[in-house]
Every structure is written in structure tokens, then in C-alpha cells.
């Protein structure tokens, strides 16, 4: 019987499954052959089985390092139910209980032993680790080792030393759902993985229709209400950035005749349980929630997830949006955003101390990491190429959509004069970009005027003031500062303020301007500022020309 025959037999015997999911077999095989490995898969894809199956086959104990103390008991209970001997040692137990579990494991009565990373410093555990045969060290949520990710946990940094202190080096298998290149490199480096087998899979969710809609803040509630009203027989989750927004939007939905409730961390446990139960049992159609909602929610028929605001990272977005369509049926994930969301996010990020346990340069490194995550999220909002591809590419997974050019709209409609029309370049056929046509408009004059205005006001004001000055606003604050006397005052009178703000933000992301990252962000010149005064300066902005599909995902 080969290793993999044995693995399949274990899969069937203990878990009742006939076959491995994508990515699992490769990881199991690598572990059984003695290799280190790194598995990158989204939540729910089945990472646990990748180390649990080898644990049932290998001689010795598998130590599982997991940050989630609260879940250890459940994990161990379900393994025991499946007939696999398992235990955990953590701070919820008395020293006697801990001693008992370690003694059992030392006698070989435990195939898997779950511990939190902090345990690796406990003398009693270290003593145990010196005496037993550790077949495999599985590191769950391995991104916690990286300061570039969202969930840095300093105790993870001790894992590398722990491994080296062992009399015989076990194979080490690391798992995470976070996949930025930087985090992945950190995992390999900090855990000192040796030539690890890498598997990145399971991120594609072909039944999800991804949709990005740029909307002014004040139009968002109406959009959500109208969508929910048009989909009265469907379950949906709407994620908002603040508790207050969840309340206001849930009330607005109810006024529109949609059954809705709201959910956030400020509610009492009873209220939260009630809201969750109502949603799960289909007593209310929509739950409007902060990101506190969703962990452990098992509702397969969520037909849409709307984000009322841009999340802080693609990981966060994908996890929340991914709660739609768990049953494999078509579902829609819509992200409503605008440029001021970006400014707010950047500001929040700056106010956030990063990580309470860190200070000085380390805290700055964490913040820089968060900024990078945010920038990829912004990229998702702004990209005109396939949204499925953008995400899969982000997660490092191979993309396998037919490379067909889908420009169904381009052939059958009038073109805006001078507009260069493009469709999404590749065709997943299941995202708003692949079903839209984009046009580019010339905003060179606007960009020049903005640049001049930033100069006129001495780089001392934020984008709100710049927009007001260019519009020739009569606001008291502006007049009292004498800004009506600067040469750019009124230079873009008649141009919509939203358009000017968009161009300011695009110039900032293209390096013509920078927006300082303080409490009151100022618009200043960026590294490419000088180019705007060149006679050859030409600047364009992309626009969604026409949506082929604005309401329902295709069947």
C-alpha cells in the first residue's frame, strides 16, 4: 500500500470522504514523504485535513500550533468523535489537567496535540517536547508570524527556535489563508522551513459574481435598499464600516419593506444571538453588520453580500464576500466605494497604533504593511480588468479562464467622441468588469489646474479645500483664509466637485501628488509633479462606459 493509498483510506475511515479536495493530496503526500510544506488556502477549503491525515499515519505525535485557544476544545472533540486520539494543552486548564494530557501524549496515546504558541516557552512543555517523538509540527494560521500581515502574534516568532531545540527535527507544515508574497516569504524564513512544498489553491469561487460600483456616499443607502427590494426572496448580508451605519441602514431597509436586522459588537450577547438566529432561520431577509458578523455563521444560501464601504484588505474582503453562495449556486458580491472611502481608510490606518505590543520602527513596519494591504484593496476598486483574476492573482493562484476577448458591448453601441473604448481584457463572464466597457476621458486640463492650485495654496490644504478653491466656493472658511485671492480660485467652476476629487485622488495614486498621512491629510506634490507643467503633459481617466448587467447575476 502506497502512502497515498493509506492517506485515502484514512480520509474515508475517519472523515467519511472519498477524495481529496484540490491541493490537499499534494500537501499530504509532501508531509508523508518527509518534506516541509506551506499550504495557502482560504478558510473552509480544508487545511486541517492536510495535517490530520498524516498525523493518523505517521509514528509519533503531531503538535499543532494554533492561536485560537477558544476553538481547541471543539477541534479536539471532533477528532475524538472521528476516532482519532487528540488532546490540547492551554491556559483554560488547571496545571493538573495539563500534566495529564502531556503524560497521555508522552505515552503515545495522542496522535495530535493542540497548543498555543505561548506554550512553547513553558518549561513543562519544553521538557515534554524533548522526550517524545514529534512526527510533524503543524503551524495553523502561520501568517501570525509575519509583521506584514494583519494578525502578527509575537509568540509565533519563537517557533523557529523551538524547532531547533528539538533533539530530532520534525517535518514542519505551515498553513494560512493569507497569501501576500511578503507574508509567504516571512513564513518560510521565520519558521525556517527547508525547501518547502508550496500549494496555493481553492481561492476560485466561480459561482460568485463580483461587482464593483463607484457611488457617492449619500447614494449608497438608496442603492442597497433598491437592490434588497428587487431581491425580496433572497438572503443577503450588508457589511458597513461603523455600528451607527448598520443601525441607520437596517432602519432604511425596514422602511422600504425589507425585513432586516443589524448586528455589531456593541450589542448584548442576547441581541447578537437573536439577530443571528433570525437571519440563519430566514426570519429576516437581510442582516446589516460590521465585520464582527460572520465568524462561525453557517448559512449556505446567502445570495448576496454587499460591502457598503471598502474593507482594509483583499483578505478581509474575500473572506466576508465569500460568505455568499456557499451552496455553490450563483451569488453576487458587490463592493460600493468612492474616493472618500479611501481617504477615510488611510486616516483610520494612521490613527491606529498598528500593534499595541510594538512601538517605534516596528510599529511603523506594521503600519507600512497595512498600507500595502490597503493599496491592493484600492487596486481592486480601480482595476478595469477581470475581478476574479485580480483576486486569484493576488492570492497567487493560477488563473484558468479562457483568454477570450469579451467585448460584447463594444460592437453594438455608439462610442463617445474621442473615447478609447475597452472591455475587460479577459473573460470570466462573471464580474462587472468583464461585462462592462470602459472609456478614457482626457483630464489633462483638470490635472494641470489642480497642480497649479496645490502650488497656489502652498501645499498646505486638504483635497476638500482644493476642490472648493477650484470651484470658486463662497464658503466662509475659505473666504476668511483669503483663498479666494489665489490665482486658481474658480479655475474649474462648473466642473463637478466629484470629478475634481477623483482626479486629485488618481493623481495621488499615480505619483503626481501625495496625500500626507496625518490626521488632516494635506495634498502636496508627488515625485512626478514636475511633469504636469510640461507642454506634452497628457492625462487620462478611465470611466465605466456602460454596464451590461446591473441587477442580477446571470444564471
User: Binding residues for ligand ADP, per CB under 6 A?
Assistant: 15, 17, 20-21, 24, 41, 43-49
Q: Quick one: 293 or 461, whose CB is closer to ligand ADP?
A: 293
In whole angstroms, how close is the CB of 159 to ligand ADP at the nearest point?
19
Which of 154, 177, 141 minimizes the C-alpha distance to 316?
A: 177
DSSP state of 143: G
In whole angstroms, how close is the CB of 279 to ligand ADP at the nearest point?
21
Q: Quick one: 5 or 555, whose CB is closer to ligand ADP?
A: 5
Q: Which residue of this chain has its Cβ atom nearest to ligand ADP in the complex?
A: 46
CA–CA dist 203, 187 (Å, integer): 19
In whole angstroms, how close is the CB of 142 to ligand ADP at the nearest point?
12
CA–CA dist 150, 143 (Å, integer): 8
In whole angstroms, how close is the CB of 23 to ligand ADP at the nearest point?
10
In whole angstroms, how close is the CB of 91 to ligand ADP at the nearest point?
23
Cell 465568524 sits on residue: 295
Q: Quick one: 143 or 345, whose CB is closer to ligand ADP?
A: 143
CA–CA dist 552, 233 (Å, integer): 13
Q: Quick one: 24 or 235, whose CB is closer to ligand ADP?
A: 24
- DSSP string computed for 435-503: TEEEEEEE-HHHHHHHHHHHHHTTT-S-HHHHHHHHHT---HHHHHTTGGGSTTTTTTTTS-HHHHHHH
Q: Quick one: 322 or 369, whose CB is closer to ligand ADP?
A: 322
Q: Quick one: 319 or 506, whose CB is closer to ligand ADP?
A: 319
Query: Cα separations (Å) of 112 from 7, 51, 171, 346?
Result: 16, 9, 14, 43
Q: Residue 400's CB: how many other CB atoms inside 10 A? A: 9
Q: Quick one: 33 or 43, whose CB is closer to ligand ADP?
A: 43
Whether the Cβ atoms of residue 159 and residue 134 lie closer than 8 Å to each other = no
Whether the Cβ atoms of residue 539 and residue 554 lie closer than 8 Å to each other = no
CA–CA dist 375, 369 (Å, integer): 10
In whole angstroms, how close is the CB of 179 to ligand ADP at the nearest point?
13
Tell me whether residue 551 is exposed, middle or buried, using C-beta atoms within 10 angstroms of its C-beta: 0 to 12, 13 to 18, 19 or more. Answer: exposed
Residues in CB range of 161: below 8 A, 6 or more apart:
none
In whole angstroms, how close is the CB of 191 to ligand ADP at the nearest point?
18
In whole angstroms, how close is the CB of 184 to ligand ADP at the nearest point?
16
3 state SS of 269: helix
Q: Quick one: 298 or 356, whose CB is closer to ligand ADP?
A: 298
Q: Treating both helix axes as pointing N-terminal to C-terminal, what angle do 497-510 and 463-471 enclose, rounded to 10 degrees?
A: 130
Instruction: Report the number of secondary-structure helices (H) and strands (E) in the chain.
Output: 19, 18
In whole angstroms, how close is the CB of 49 to ligand ADP at the nearest point?
4
Q: Quick one: 49 or 250, whose CB is closer to ligand ADP?
A: 49
Q: Quick one: 24 or 451, whose CB is closer to ligand ADP?
A: 24
In whole angstroms, how close is the CB of 12 to ligand ADP at the nearest point?
10
Amino acid at each position: 500500500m502506497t502512502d497515498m493509498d493509506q492517506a485515502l483510506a484514512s480520509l474515508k475511515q475517519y472523515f467519511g470522504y472519498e477524495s481529496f479536495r484540490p491541493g490537499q493530496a499534494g500537501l499530504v503526500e509532501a508531509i508523508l514523504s518527509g518534506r516541509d510544506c506551506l499550504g495557502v488556502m482560504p478558510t473552509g477549503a480544508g487545511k486541517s485535513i492536510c495535517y490530520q491525515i498524516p498525523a493518523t499515519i505517521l509514528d509519533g505525535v503531531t503538535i499543532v500550533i494554533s492561536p485560537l485557544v477558544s476553538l481547541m476544545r471543539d477541534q479536539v472533540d471532533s477528532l475524538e468523535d472521528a476516532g482519532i486520539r487528540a488532546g490540547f494543552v492551554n491556559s483554560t486548564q488547571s496545571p493538573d489537567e495539563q500534566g495529564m494530557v502531556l503524560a497521555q501524549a508522552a505515552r503515545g496515546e495522542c496522535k495530535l496535540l493542540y497548543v498555543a504558541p505561548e506554550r512553547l516557552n513553558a518549561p513543562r512543555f519544553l521538557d515534554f517536547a524533548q522526550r517524545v517523538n514529534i512526527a510533524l509540527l503543524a503551524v495553523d494560521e502561520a501568517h501570525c508570524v509575519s509583521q506584514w500581515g494583519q494578525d502578527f502574534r509575537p509568540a509565533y516568532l519563537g517557533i523557529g527556535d523551538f524547532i531547533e531545540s528539538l533533539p530530532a527535527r520534525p517535518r514542519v507544515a505551515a498553513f494560512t489563508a493569507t497569501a501576500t508574497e511578503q507574508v509567504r516569504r516571512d513564513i518560510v524564513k521565520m519558521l525556517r522551513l527547508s525547501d518547502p512544498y508550496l500549494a496555493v489553491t481553492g481561492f476560485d469561487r466561480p459561482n460568485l459574481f463580483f461587482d464593483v460600483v463607484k457611488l457617492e456616499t449619500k447614494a449608497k443607502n438608496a442603492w442597497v435598499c433598491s437592490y434588497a427590494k428587487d431581491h425580496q426572496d433572497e438572503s443577503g448580508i450588508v457589511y458597513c464600516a461603523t455600528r451607527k451605519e448598520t443601525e441607520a441602514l437596517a432602519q432604511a431597509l425596514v422602511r422600504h419593506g425589507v425585513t432586516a436586522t443589524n448586528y455589531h459588537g456593541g450589542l448584548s450577547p442576547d441581541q447578537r444571538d437573536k439577530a443571528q438566529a433570525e437571519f440563519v432561520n430566514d426570519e429576516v431577509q437581510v442582516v446589516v453588520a460590521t465585520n464582527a458578523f460572520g465568524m462561525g455563521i453557517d448559512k449556505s444560501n446567502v445570495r448576496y453580500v454587499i460591502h457598503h464601504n471598502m474593507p482594509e484588505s483583499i483578505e478581509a474582503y474575500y473572506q466576508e464576500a465569500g460568505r455568499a453562495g456557499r451552496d455553490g449556486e450563483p451569488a453576487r458580491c458587490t463592493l460600493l466605494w468612492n474616493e472618500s472611502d479611501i481617504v477615510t481608510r488611510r486616516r483610520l490606518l494612521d490613527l491606529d497604533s498598528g500593534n499595541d505590543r510594538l512601538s517605534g520602527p516596528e510599529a511603523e513596519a506594521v503600519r507600512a504593511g497595512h498600507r500595502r494591504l490597503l493599496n491592493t484593496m484600492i487596486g481592486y476598486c480601480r482595476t478595469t480588468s477581470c475581478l476574479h483574476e485580480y483576486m486569484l492573482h493576488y492570492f497567487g493562484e493560477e488563473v484558468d479562464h479562457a483568454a477570450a476577448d469579451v467585448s460584447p458591448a463594444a460592437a453594438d453601441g455608439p462610442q463617445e467622441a474621442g473615447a478609447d473604448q475597452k472591455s475587460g481584457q479577459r473573460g470570466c463572464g462573471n464580474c462587472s468588469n468583464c461585462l462592462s466597457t470602459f472609456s478614457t476621458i482626457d483630464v489633462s486640463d483638470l490635472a494641470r489646474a489642480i497642480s497649479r492650485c496645490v502650488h497656489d495654496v502652498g501645499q498646505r490644504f486638504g483635497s476638500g479645500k482644493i476642490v472648493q478653491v477650484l470651484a470658486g466656493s463662497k464658503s466662509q472658511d475659505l473666504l476668511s483664509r483669503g483663498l479666494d485671492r489665489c490665482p486658481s480660485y474658480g479655475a474649474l467652476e462648473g466642473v463637478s466637485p466629484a470629478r475634481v476629487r477623483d482626479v486629485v485622488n488618481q493623481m495621488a495614486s499615480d505619483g503626481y501628488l501625495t496625500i500626507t498621512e496625518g490626521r488632516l491629510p494635506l495634498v502636496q506634490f508627488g515625485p512626478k509633479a514636475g511633469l504636469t507643467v510640461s507642454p506634452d503633459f497628457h492625462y487620462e481617466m478611465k470611466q465605466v462606459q456602460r454596464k451590461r448587467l446591473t441587477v442580477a447575476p446571470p444564471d
